[in-house]
Chain A
Amino acid sequence: MHRSVRAASLVALLAWAVAVFAADQVRKDYHFKVHHRASVSIFNQYGPISVRPGSGDQVVVTAILHSDKAEIDTRQSGNRVAVVSHLLGGADADSGRVDYDVLVPANANVTLHSTTGPLRVEKMRGDVILEGNTANVDVRDVSSGHVHVKTLNGPVTLTNVSEGHVEITSVNGDVSLKSVSGPLVHVNSTSGKILYDGDFGDGGEYSLMTHTGDIDATAPAYASIDVVASSERGKVENDFPLQPAHSSFVSRAGSAFAGTMGKAASSVKLLSFSGKIHLKKR
């Protein structure tokens, strides 16, 4: 009896807390009419931003403000829409948090900035530019558009991205690319780990470069690549039977290798100053 009373009190207390908390939250909706290849920018210090395609020629922004210490400024100039979270004095990561859910035309160009994120973009055909300090970045099912990501410490995951340029710069965040291909795929990291699982296709230029992070690349047996892999201080492993490349590159057992597979359609560079490199066959 005593236990059930305590349990009931706890549930009531929780419900009250949720109600109080939710009462401070305010939902705001914005609609913008746009045309072909609109540009949409969202600046949000604290809180998630999620972008996906909607229907029709419009941008629909749903924002949840977690306190009255944040305001939203919007600006439309022709085909360009900008939404900015404006923090008032005394706002912190909790009170200044705004959650964004954004629907845009699939061919819109999207730019997102956030400190904490997370940032999520999916099923787009326009350019995607994401910047975050510690934000977790997740981009999936993007084709034809360019994807540019800059992050300091947040992990970056790209899944099923093709036909555009991919450029990722991360200091400490790990970078994971799954089924990513295109004319240019560049990853530049200081200490983040780089994971690639794809086919290095499209006759592209692939460069995965890090200072101390490890590089783990997995490709199918039919991959058509001209590959160079080198680590100054780390170990280098290769599962592919490479044909020797006609270049002045000097292979060093355990720390560098180079060669071609198939028609050598794509150029692949796996470079780590002191991390390990492993080119695996799927």
Chain B
Amino acid sequence: MTCEEFQRVLPELEGGHNFEQEQHLKTCSRCSELISDLSAISQQARLIGATTEEPSPRVWNSIEITLRQEGLIHEPSPVAGRARVTSWRLSWLVPALAALLVVFGVVLHRPGKQPSRSAMSSPPVVKAVEEPGPELATLADEEQLLGMVAARAPALRADYESDLRAVDEYIRDAERSARSNPNDELAQQYLMNAYEQRAMVYEMAMDRTLP
């Protein structure tokens, strides 16, 4: 086997050689050195995988903003907290009512003081909790963002506020257009661009490397 023949099949060899190739390697220092070098490169390459480099904090900030924008993050909010309390109340309501009924039943059958009609006829009422609409939630987010900007760079608060108003108006117009023309590609494009603009304002406001 010649060097040329050996090196021609080299791309297909993955560590294993047949008898003829082994014989050639035993007698040819050049091909033997080549195999050794390529193997060293491949082995060292595996060690490159381990790394300590990491992206800047901006990357996570941007990811978090986008996830919130797309509604993929459901933060526990005061409303959700109230909803959790509400569901706690509801889940205990049935046994509580049952216990009350037992108590009243016992009391009713006892001689002596009668419970008042109003107490018997009006079981505890759990008020329905209304969730704030999306606009209120957005305003709350924006106030929080502007608060952050004001704390870091007070001079920029007015600019950010004006920018947010402008992009909010863009989003409102784009949403209205998309609702009226649900199959219109252009309307969808405007909506995406409007959200991209808002995401950028948030991203820049939350960028901790800059005010």
Contact = CB atoms under 8 A, between A and B. Distances in A.
B155 to A, nearest CB: 7
Nearest to B53: A77
Given A43-B209, A171-B201, A271-B190, A211 B169 contact: yes
Contact of A150 (B155, B167, B200): B200
A88 B177 CA distance: 48
Contacts of B204: 131, 133, 150, 152
A109 interface: no
Given A84-B209, A113-B209, A172-B166, A152 B194 contact: no
Contact of B197 (A45, A115, A171): A171
A267 interface: no
A169 B200 contact: yes
B69 interface: no
Contact of A169 (B155, B190, B196, B209): B196
Interface residues of A, number: 28
Interface in B56-92: none
B162 interface: yes
Given A152-B159, A191-B166, A271-B186, A133 B210 contact: yes
B153 A115 contact: yes
Given A43-B209, A209-B189, A273-B170, A152 B201 contact: yes
Nearest to A207: B189
B200 A45 contact: no
A40 B173 CA distance: 40
B163 interface: yes
Contacts of B200: 150, 152, 169, 171
Contacts of A152: 159-160, 163, 200-201, 204
Interface of B: 53, 153, 155-156, 159-160, 162-163, 166-167, 169-170, 173-174, 177, 186, 189-190, 193-194, 196-197, 200-201, 204, 207, 209-211
Interface of A: 43, 45, 77, 84, 93, 113-115, 131, 133-134, 150, 152-153, 169, 171-172, 188, 190-191, 209, 211-212, 230, 232, 271, 273-274
5 contacts: A84-B209, A133-B210, A172-B162, A271-B186, A273-B170
